Amino acid sequence: MENPSREPLEEPAVPPRSTPPTEAPTANAATWARLKDLVADALELPPAKRQPFLAVECAHNPDQLRHAEGMLAAATAAADFLEWPAL
């Protein structure tokens, strides 16, 4: 970008980060391992029993339940995607 007046250009203000970029704000390795195991166990159940299983297993932790349900939905959608033939 040209600066015809030769005045110094101002740098845009960047708000400070609340967490370092290398650190996940709400989860650590043990949490992700637990979520992975829960979703893998849920996927082995019939579809109608998956959400109730997660509700029981995560009854003590609503955030964990929310994450597990999201991961289960993504895994189910990915599996459904692979079942459709290519056109």
H-helix or E-strand spanning residue 25 = none
What is the domain partition of the chain in residue ranges? 47-80
- pLDDT band for 47, please (50, 70, 90 cuts): very high
Spatial distance between the Cα atoms of 11 and 82, rounded to a whole number of angstroms: 47
- Asked if 42 contacts 75 with a C-beta cutoff of 8 angstroms, the reply is no
pTM of the model: 0.60
pLDDT of 60 higher than 90: yes
- Asked if 71 contacts 51 with a C-beta cutoff of 8 angstroms, the reply is no
Mean pLDDT across the chain? 78
pLDDT of 1 higher than 70: no
Spatial distance between the Cα atoms of 31 and 6, rounded to a whole number of angstroms: 53
